[in-house]
Structure 1
Amino acid sequence: MFSDQLKQQAQPILSGILEHPFIQGIANGNVAPAALQFYVQQDFQYLNEFIKIYGNAIAKSNDRELMGFFNDQISFILNSEIHPHHIFCNIARINYEDQQHATPAPKAYLYESHMHRAGETGSLLNILAAFQPCPWTYTEIADHLVAQGAATKDNPFYDWIMFYASDDNDKSMSDTVFAFVDRFAKQASNEELATASQYFLKSCELEWQFWEHAFYQQDWQFKATLDHAKEDFKS
């Protein structure tokens, strides 16, 4: 199956994500408040773009099952995925509403642009491949943390881990997306599969970069210049 090939190709990147100090900090119950705040600020903006990608995918699909799935995921982001953000904010002792107006940092900007580029190809296979690393790696992270015994009630990140961990009674979102990927892959040429693979692997890399830029708060080098320029156009 094409999805199995993608997962195998991505193993070095997934290993890097699981070993990242941000993820290790979640396992140990200790992540710097500044890293948590930067993550929430950037992820809020990223998920806004994710909603637009889903909307674009709906517009390109004639399959009602797929339309329904994308619609459900828009609802999930709007109504459910604020929960892990609140967990990070509570740990960092910051107000969630105050974190929703940040400028996307370079790595987030790159990731969002990459996702939109996949949408602009018009290929549902490319779109699915590009956004799949987000749900896939988060499920892998949570399941890894559960397996290594990090999901204990005394870990302040316990609820965050369990939010993303696999549910043995339900098919995960990641499994559903991989099933759609395999459906479209059966009709794709080798060249199209190679392109989709690159979208998938680059998104995996950008997932690693997202943890990296949050952990070290890697913002625009000349952020003050960007912010001052915005002020010039306010009435």
Structure 2
Amino acid sequence: MNFAETLERDAQPIIDEIYQDHFIQELLKGDIKKEALRQYLRADASYLREFANIYALLIPKMPDLESVRFLVDQIQFIVNGEVEAHEYMADYIGENYNEIVQKKVWPPSGDHYIKHMYYNVYTHENATYAIAAMAPCPYVYAMIAKRAMKDPNLNKSSILAKWFEFYNTEMDPLIEVLDDLMNQLTANMSETEKNEVRENYLQSTVHELNFFNMAYTSEKWQFGGERV
């Protein structure tokens, strides 16, 4: 078992919890509050914009030109390709996707997740730390989708089933490259350093859990007191 595979193994209990979250379960059944999807789409639009920026920051840290090309391609995919999955949710809501995300949201769970990734870009020269903070995103989506496609509770007549169909296959090439990079860049690390990378990966998997739940609960900043 290589290093990336051990991270994915260790993340499974968290992914199981994500799958049982109200957001995923109601998405699966094709019966979810429209406001939960609006919250998700608005928060995810902010998240993906920063995800693309982080890819750009990693370019100078890549070990070879092929890895640089990969990051450039991923930036392009985030800008254009992943919108397809979002539009299935917008169709369910019955509103235009671009109009939905005109309203910006920056909830606590998204904020913590994004800052976790940025922290690891700026504090470590070795890109593995940041990659480990980013890699759970595609892996979680792929694992949830693959599980959903085998779940008898999946409402295949709902437009939301296409969201699962999209992530069932679209993330696989990305996961493979990120895993290869983590294996390559941790080859000469000490066990202490590898444990730090593992911690990054697991923390981001928890952030994924919180992100889905944030959408379901319409999470907002609570500052307390009265404001003028």
Deviates more, 1:95-104 or 1:123-132: 95-104
Deviates more, 1:151-160 or 1:87-96: 151-160
Name the counterpart of 1:180: 181
1:100 partner SS: coil
Name the counterpart of 1:209: 210
Q: Is the 8 Å Cα contact of residues 151 and 161 (structure 1) preserved in structure 2? A: no
Name the counterpart of 2:107: 105
Q: Is the 8 Å Cα contact of residues 118 and 127 (structure 1) preserved in structure 2? A: yes
Deviates more, 1:22-31 or 1:148-157: 148-157
Name the counterpart of 2:82: 81
Measure the CA separation in 1 of the matches of 2:180 and 2:26: 32
Matched, 1:115 2:117: yes
**1:139-154 mapped onto 2 (5 Å cutoff):** 139-149=142-152, 153-154=156-157
Measure the CA separation in 2 of the matches of 1:138 and 1:89: 18
Deviation per CA, 1:23-79, whole angstroms, max 9, x where unpaired? 111211111100000000000000000011100110222411111111111010011
Deviation per CA, 1:73-131, whole angstroms, max 9, x where unpaired? 10100111111111111111223222134131111011110010111122211111110
Measure the CA separation in 1 of the matches of 2:132 and 2:152: 31
Q: Is the 8 Å Cα contact of residues 29 and 154 (structure 2) preserved in structure 1? A: no
Q: Which amino acid aligns with 2:161?
A: Y
Deviates more, 1:75-84 or 1:92-101: 92-101
Question: What's the % identity of the aligned pairs?
Answer: 28
Q: Is the 8 Å Cα contact of residues 45 and 100 (structure 1) preserved in structure 2? A: no
Q: Is the 8 Å Cα contact of residues 30 and 155 (structure 2) preserved in structure 1? A: no
Residue 128 of structure 1, aligned match among 116, 128, 131: 131
Deviation per CA, 1:114-163, whole angstroms, max 9, x where unpaired? 01011112221111111000000000010000111455641221211111
Name the counterpart of 1:33: 34
Residue 163 of structure 2, aligned match among 154, 160, 164: 160
Name the counterpart of 2:4: 3
Measure the CA separation in 1 of the matches of 2:14 and 2:219: 20
Deviates more, 1:102-111 or 1:148-157: 148-157
Q: TM-score, normalised by structure 1?
A: 0.89
Q: Which amino acid aligns with 1:110?
A: H
Measure the CA separation in 1 of the matches of 2:178 and 2:135: 7
Q: Which amino acid aligns with 2:131?
A: L
Q: Is the 8 Å Cα contact of residues 142 and 172 (structure 2) preserved in structure 1? A: no
Measure the CA separation in 1 of the matches of 2:79 and 2:14: 28
Deviates more, 1:71-80 or 1:181-190: 181-190
CA-based RMSD: 2.1
Q: Is the 8 Å Cα contact of residues 22 and 31 (structure 1) preserved in structure 2? A: yes
Measure the CA separation in 2 of the matches of 1:152 and 1:32: 16
